[in-house]
Amino acid sequence: LVGIFLPISSPYYYKFHTIIFCSLKIYFSLPFNYYFLIYWLSVIKNSVEITTYSEYCSKIKQVIIPYFEKNYPDLLLKDITPKHIQDFYSYKMDIDKVSANTVIHYHANIRKALAFAFKNDLLDYNPTNRVERSKKINLLETYMTQKSFMSYSISLKVKKLNLP
């Protein structure tokens, strides 16, 4: 099981092995980025729906881990602060131009992972509880009448559709 997450050549392999079989307490000295988040994903895998797990994996492996590995390569789980997390949110919104709703999804993933760490006494507090969260943007649903749709479609030079 351990070999799946860490190659034997990894400097953290034996520490990780010790954690799994001895004590989670050692784990807080591992880097926050890859090792902790992948471990958390393995823990929650069987407690969430497969689609939820897939979304978590996607966000964590493709967005969250690369950001922290690039910007804070030596950041340990025990050293993570609200500023690190707030910087991540700001970067995603200002530089990558993602929406507030997307940042809220990232926040949920990070919050759950750090809540797990807090619950297992790996952290003294959950830093995500001290971060200013983005406000959700509620999208307004509007409906078009057949007349307005036809007017719109003509303006787009779309062929006439047969509507009920």
**Phi, psi torsion values for 76, nearest 5 degrees:** -95, 155
Q: Is the pLDDT of residue 27 over 70?
A: no
pLDDT of residue 87: 96
Name the one residue in this structure whose structure tokens are 């004590």: 23
pLDDT of residue 44: 94
pLDDT of residue 147: 75
For residues 127 and 80, the answer to whether their CB atoms sit within 8 Å is yes
Which pLDDT tens digit goes with each residue over 96-115? Answer: 999 999 999 999 999 999 99
pLDDT of residue 133: 77
Written as one string, the DSSP assignment of 36-79 is IHHHHHHHHGGGS-HHHHHHHHHHIIIIIHHHHHHH-TT-BGGG
From the list 42, 25, 4, the residue with the least C-alpha distance to 124 is: 25
Q: Is the pLDDT of residue 85 over 90?
A: yes
Q: Is the pLDDT of residue 153 over 50?
A: yes
pLDDT of residue 74: 87
Distance of CA 161 to the CA centre of its chain: 41
As a whole number of angstroms, the distance between CA 22 and CA 104 comes to 35
Which pLDDT tens digit goes with each residue over 29-45? Answer: 556 667 889 889 999 99
From the list 68, 84, 89, 94, the residue with the least C-alpha distance to 134 is: 89
For residues 67 and 27, the answer to whether their CB atoms sit within 8 Å is no
From the list 65, 9, 72, 11, the residue with the least C-alpha distance to 39 is: 65
